[in-house]
Structures are given as C-alpha cells and as structure tokens.
Amino acid sequence: MHCASCAKLIERKLSSIPGIISCAVNYGSEQATVEMEMGVRDRDISEAVEGAGYKIATETSREEIKKQELKKLGTKVIVSAILSAIIFIGSFPEWFGYSLISNRYLLLALMLPVQFWAGWGFYQATWSGLRNRTASMDTLIVIGTTAALIGGYFDTGAIIITLILLGRLLEAKAKAHTSDAIKKLLGLAAKTARVLRGKKEIDISIEEVVVGDLIRVRPGEKIPVDGVIIEGESGVDESMVTGESIPVEKIRGDVVIGATFNKTGSFIFRATKVGKDTMLSQIVKMVSEAQSSRAPIQRLADIVSSYFVPAVLIIAVGVFVVWYVLGMPLSAFINMIAVLIIACPCAMGLATPTAIMIGTGKGAEKGILIKDASALETAHKIKTIIFDKTGTLTIGKPQVTDISDVKTLGIAASLEKGSEHVLGEAVVGKASEKGFVLSKVEGFRAISGVGIEGTINGKKYFFGNRGEKSVEIKRLEKEGKTVMILESGRKVLGFVAVADTLKRGVSEVVDSLSKKGIGVWMITGDNERTAKAIAKQSGIKNILAGVMPDQKANKVKEFKGKNGVIAFVGDGINDAPALAAADVGIAMGTGTDVAIESAGVTLLNKDIKSVLTAFNLSRVTLNVIKQNLFWAFGYNVILIPAAAIGLLNPALAAGAMAASSISVVLNSLRLNKLKI
C-alpha cells in the first residue's frame, strides 16, 4: 500500500462482500481485520483484495515478500537516480558543458525507463483506483509526471519519480522497525524440546510437542511450551512475560511458561498448552491485533484523507487556470505539477498506526498487553478507577499476619497439617517458613464452623474461633483479620491472626492516582469492616462493600457518565462483566482467562504499579500521535499554498513529500527511547 487512500479502497472492496460485518485496513501495519458471518470464503476475500489491485500474503510468506519488494525498490531507486542525473546534466548544457547528451530524443529515451519501468507501480495503482471509481496519491503522481513528460520537462519528471521512490524505500525501512516488538517475541520461542518417550530422552522440534508430553529442562535452557512441574525445582527467569528480571522459584505443581528461561535447577514438566495455545502465542496474537486495530483519533485522518485527493485535483486545476489567465503558461504548468506532487496524504495515513504499533509493542516489553488501540487512547483520560479487592489489591490468599508467640504457631501448625482449610494452609506455610518441625497429632477432628482439635504428646488442644477474646484479639478483628485461638482445657494459650494482605506497591499507586486527580474506589463482596480495614491500609477513601458479583457491572455502569471516564481493575471470573462495562478494563495477569478476555489491558507482570505505567504509556503515545497529525496537517496547509504561488518547484515538492512521511515514522520510533 502506498497511502491511506489505498487502505480505504481495500476496505470498500471488502465491505462489498455479502456476509462481511465490518473490516478495518491498517495502512501502517498493512493488515486487514475482518469480522464476517459463517459462509464467507477465503477466496471471496482474496478476489476482493485482488480486485483493488493488491495481493494477500500469508504470515509465512509476508517477510519474504517484504524483502523482495525492498530489494526491487532499491534497484529501481539506483537505476532511476543514475538516469535522472544524466537527464538533469543533459537538460542544462549551459551549466555543465555536456552538449553531447543534450539531444532531446536521447533525453526522452533515458526518461522512458524511469517513467514506465521505475514508475510503473504508480500507473498500476492509478488504473486500479479508476476501475473502482477512486483516486489516490498515485493518481496525483501519474498526472504530474505524465504532464511533465508530455511537456518535455524530462528532468522534472525523472527527479520526481526518483525522489518519491527513495522516500518509499526509506519509509519502508523505517516502518519495518515498528514491528520489532513482534519479531522479538517470536524470536523468544524455543526451537526444540527434550521429551521423555518410554525410557529414553529425545530432542524433537517444538512443532512436534503434544499436550501430555513429559519434558525435561536443564539449567540454562529455555522452557519449550506451557506446562506444570511434576518433578524437581528451579528458579525461572520470567522477564519475557513479566518484565521482572528476578527469577521466580518453581516447585512441583507450579505452572511454567514456554519461552521463559530456566536458571538454576533441573525439572520435568507435563505439557499443557502447545502451538497457538501457549501464552507466548497468545501474547503475539494480542499484540498483533492491537497493532492492527484503529484508534478513535484515526477517524479524523481517515475522513480528511477520503476527501483530500479530489480536493487536490480541483486545487491543481485552479492553479493552472489562474496562472494561465495571468499570461504565464509555463508557470501554470510547473506550479500545477508542484501542487499535485506536494499533496501527499501518506503522512496522515501513517500518523496514528505507526505510533500505535510501537506503543503496544513497548507495552508488551514491560508486561502490559494492550488488546486494542481504543484502550491505549482512552487510558490517559481516566477520571475514576475502581479496584476489585481480592486478588487485585490483595494477594488473594490468606497469610499469617500476627502471632501471640512462636510456640502457639508450632502447635497450631501441627494441628492444621491434617486440615484442608485455606486458613490452615496459611498457618502451616508460616511455620514451614520459620523452619518448625511439626509434631505428630493423634485424635484429629474437625468441628464444622468452629475449628479443629487433636492431641499432641498426650495433651489435648483446640484451635479455632472459640474462646475468650482479649482486647488485642478484638483490635485485630477490627482491622479485618481472622483470629484463631489456641486452647487447652478451655484455657486460652495464644492466637494466630490471618488476613489477605495488600500487594506490594498498592499504597504508592493509590497515592499517585489521587495526586493526578483520579478518583480511586474499592469494590468488594466482603463486609464493610474488612473493606474499611483494607481501604485504610491502602489509602483508599471510597469503598463499595457487600457488592455481589453480579452487581459489580451495574455499579460500573452507574459510575459512567457522572464520574468521567471509568477504569475497572479486576482478576476473577466475577469481574468479567465489570471489565467489559468499563471504558477501560484492566485485568491482572494472575486472573482468569475470562477476565483477561473481557479487558482492554492485561498486566502480565502482576505488578499493580503497572496501572500507572499503562496510563503513562497511553499519555506519551497520544502525544506522539498528536505531534504526527499536527505535522501531517500543517505540512499540507503550508506547502500546498507555497506550491500554488510558485515558491516550490516540482523536484523540491517531491523531496518534501517523501520527507513528511519519513519524519512521521521517525517521530513514532521515538517512543522506543521514551521512559514510561
């Protein structure tokens, strides 16, 4: 594709196919996103695209086609540049003194390959546009350079074509860098896997791995696919997914992610997701879709571009008529060509998609997956943000927060070892951290709704919510903690307090959001006492407690309109409707697939601070888009009148037109260097 008009033409052809619900063609990524009904054939889509004068490339062939096109374009630039230089010298013998090549027929012979070989693509695109009753940038180039050829201005036509081709070559090379994020992600995948087949270990290609395969991973190797450890333990570098470089300790039962890096130990895991189902493949898919999606701000550029070419043709004719009437036919001709050449809508077409592509790619590098461009554009406008409590603000599982003494913890953990209760797991885990050797328990019995009892070394103990509550225990309960009391013979020996604790950095995030003027709310199904305790710890002043899962989405809808643009941050299945209802849904990477699917932004790195990073990414990306659009519009507003009044010759116009597109792409590439 050569300009935004090309993209609009393909969209129009695709939309004309029966059964196509919607389609969007991204000029920056040269990809089409099509929503269609069942029954629409691939052949129908291919024929529509070919009818517009273009071809569909598969994922596997795309890179190769791009390389071939760049090589071909490079050859055309070199040949046309040499011929143009000779033509220019021959056109001005009084300047250079080479009268031998100043023959008009010789110059024409040199011009024809430039016009109809190097510039043949312009004619093809123009003809395709005319067949479909539309005009594009190529139409302007064909009219301008053909007029120069007929008028005998061989140097002008040759230089214009050469400079435009050079601009396209540089633009294509610059655009190639906008998809670096995808290439990096794809390059992370392991190539082989060491699979246990029978009593042997064999190396097979990653494509041959199937669900259920047992795979051994040694220190210093990449994990081939997603799975669950069944034997061994190790520290795994998950920075590919999370952006966090500190290795994560993995033991039996833990999930491992394909393409992450095994650091220290050796382990065997069972493959659970392979091929397109792996997390890496899903990340690549989401980033690719986001890069191809269209931001709402793009609509302005699309509207302008659709009217732009016809308007330029009218202006060019008007310029010719005015100068001709003034008695300057030569100026009329030259200025008309300059207007046609300078007025390129490429920069407008590239302004938004190139920035979106790089912005979403940069987000992926930091563990922030952005599903669509709309979420990226909207995020910086957030006025109110609602956080789910459990699993979002808090760790999501109980942890021991207070103990009366270490002896109580040891006895309580010994009793809870035989329990399957989630609170018991927290007590046992804490004792394990402190290196306790648990005692043997006899006569273990669970008392429903009350606690557990058992005998240790001949002494009977009870551990649960029964017993006299001291002032300290009442204080802990007021803080939203669950306090379990250890008794023996109805005598209170001590207590252990358990609570779902805040994630690291929550208070910092809340404080930062508040300083930005963003209203922060917490929503939870917990009772008001527990909600207030968590809110106090986090610095959140506004709470919605006792909200049932099916009511969360309704609460979000109530907030919309009267509280500005709303963001919802959650992780569970019950959060999915609220995530979808919000202007921007942000799912924690620790959450369910349903929640992630419903959100516009996913924090794979599980870090609550990434909420701030996502907002900053949105802000800097939108700033770059606005800069691009300002330049793209400003360029045409200034230089079209300049060309019309004779301040810009056609050759300079061609150079300026190429420079405008390149400058937009280079400005977008600045996003890679910006800190967020």
pLDDT tens profile 661-674 = 778 888 888 888 87
pLDDT of residue 216: 93
List C-alpha distances in Å: 440 to 410, 416, 579.
Answer: 11, 11, 48
Among candidates 182, 118, 574, which has minimal Cα distance to 389?
574
pLDDT of residue 79: 93
Match 């760790």 to its residue by tokens: 395
Sign of the alpha-carbon dihedral angle for 164, 166, 172, 174:
negative
| Residues 6+ away with beta carbon under 8 Å from 377 | 295, 296, 297, 618, 621, 622, 625
| Residues 6+ away with beta carbon under 8 Å from 591 | 391, 570, 571, 572, 575
Euclidean distance between CA atoms 230 and 269, whole angstroms: 5
Look at phi and psi of residue 250 and say left if phi exceeds 0, alpha if psi is from -120 to 50, else beta. beta
Q: How many beta carbons lie within 10 A of that of residue 403, not counting itself? A: 21
Residue stretches of the chain with pLDDT short of 70? 1-6, 26-29, 58-63, 94-100, 136, 167, 171, 174-186, 240-246, 286-306, 344-346, 349, 420-422, 448-449, 549-550, 572-574, 590-598
pLDDT of residue 229: 93
| Residues 6+ away with beta carbon under 8 Å from 275 | 207, 281
Strand partners, 387: 522, 569
Euclidean distance between CA atoms 156 and 172, whole angstroms: 24
pLDDT of residue 554: 85
Range 632-636, long-range pairs (CB < 8 A, 24+ positions):
632/301, 632/347, 632/348, 632/350, 632/351, 632/660, 632/664, 633/304, 633/348, 635/347, 635/660, 636/308, 636/342, 636/343
**Crossing angle (nearest 10°) for helices 610-644 and 329-342:** 170
Give the helix/strand (H/E) hosting 482.
strand 482-488
Euclidean distance between CA atoms 497 and 400, whole angstroms: 6
Among candidates 445, 391, 499, 348, which has minimal Cα distance to 6?
348
pTM listed for this prediction: 0.65
pLDDT of residue 171: 65
Euclidean distance between CA atoms 526 and 544, whole angstroms: 9
Token pair, residue 343, equals: 């007025």
pLDDT of residue 287: 64
Q: Tens digits of per-residue pLDDT, 468-512?
A: 778 888 888 887 788 889 998 888 899 999 887 888 899 999 999
Q: Which positions are annotated as active-site residues? A: 388
Could you tell me if 527 and 546 are in contact, meaning their C-beta atoms sit under 8 angstroms apart? yes
Give the helix/strand (H/E) hosting 484.
strand 482-488
Alpha helices for 177-297 (secondary structure H): 180-187, 239-242, 279-292
